[in-house]
Structure 1
Amino acid sequence: MGDVGEVGAELRRGVTRLYSRFRSERLEGEVPDAALLVLLALDRQDGMSLTELADAARVTLGSMSQTVRRLQELGHVTKSRDPEDRRRVLFALTTAGRRAVTASRRHRRDWLNGRIAALTADERAVIAAAAPLLTRLADS
């Protein structure tokens, strides 16, 4: 199975299934995926504008506006004026929002680690060798 087309097809199938399964692993009451992406973005960088959040999630401003509004209603994000440009609105995580991010990350990390632990040592070595290559493919 060294043919580029075959390797690509097998990789697409595996990544698609793993991503789908990973996304389906959610805590009861966890926010939808679009909202979780916003929480994750704000966890990396508090004080993002609606445009920055929409760009990060690759969605329209209207869609992001609805998502952020829902997150505000849930008490996960707050909005404030940019102190340097009062016309600009910035969003940040609340304590509840940060807890939601932490819980979601922990749950998915534990799920994946449990699946990896069930593999043989040789299979784990293959995954360990492939992981940096997958990251390199994603980043190129």
Structure 2
Amino acid sequence: MADHEVAQLGDDGVSALSEDLRLACMRISRRVRFESVDVIAPHQFSVLARLEDGPLTPRALADIEKVSAPSMTRTVGCLADEGLVERHDDPEDGRRVLVELTTAGREALTETRRRRDKWMTERVAELSGADQATLQAASAILRGIAAR
């Protein structure tokens, strides 16, 4: 085998690597999500991000976020109380309510993303050039896995 070739892992090696990657991704995700909780709670951030492309009903948000309708109603209520979303009647069906981002909601999204990106950027900047290159390659691979 040439120096540049790497042997493929066996079943046990693939299982161990898979577990290590899953745990590392979960820990990083958790750490990043809680980086800016003083701006907005992670579950609220997720709802605001879903509204970036346009208004949705609370039911649609609940379905997307995989939570109960009453739970989403409480979340939307808190976001509305904080001025991050507005509720208004659906012009096509007056029985339905639409939830829409406010300017303050967009600003909270921007600030939360800025803080999360800053946290990650600081950690990646501490790595060697070789480790950064490895992460760059791994990032492309992980995006491919996530897309499946």
- Structure 1 length-normalised TM: 0.92
Distance 2:42 2:114 in 1: 16
Distance 2:62 2:144 in 1: 25
Runs of 4+ in 1 over 3 A off after TM superposition: none
Which residue number corresponds to residue 93 of structure 1?
101
Distance 2:27 2:43 in 1: 19
Which residue number corresponds to residue 71 of structure 1?
79
Consecutive unaligned residues of structure 1, counting only runs of 5 or more, are none
Which residue number corresponds to residue 118 of structure 1?
126
How far is 1:27 from its partner?
Answer: 5.2
Which residue number corresponds to residue 36 of structure 1?
45
8 Å Cα contact 1:27/1:107 also seen in 2: no
Distance 1:112 1:72 in 2: 30
For the residue of structure 2 that corresponds to 1:89, the secondary structure is strand
8 Å Cα contact 1:54/1:60 also seen in 2: yes
Q: CA RMSD in A?
A: 1.4
- Structure 2 length-normalised TM: 0.87
Out of 3, 19, 26, the position equivalent to 2:29 is 19
Distance 2:23 2:121 in 1: 21
Residue-pair matches, total: 138
Distance 1:71 1:5 in 2: 41
Matching residue's letter, 2:139: A
How far is 1:92 from its partner?
Answer: 0.5
Consecutive unaligned residues of structure 2, counting only runs of 5 or more, are 1-7
How far is 1:118 from its partner?
Answer: 1.0
Percent identical = 36
How far is 1:12 from its partner?
Answer: 1.6
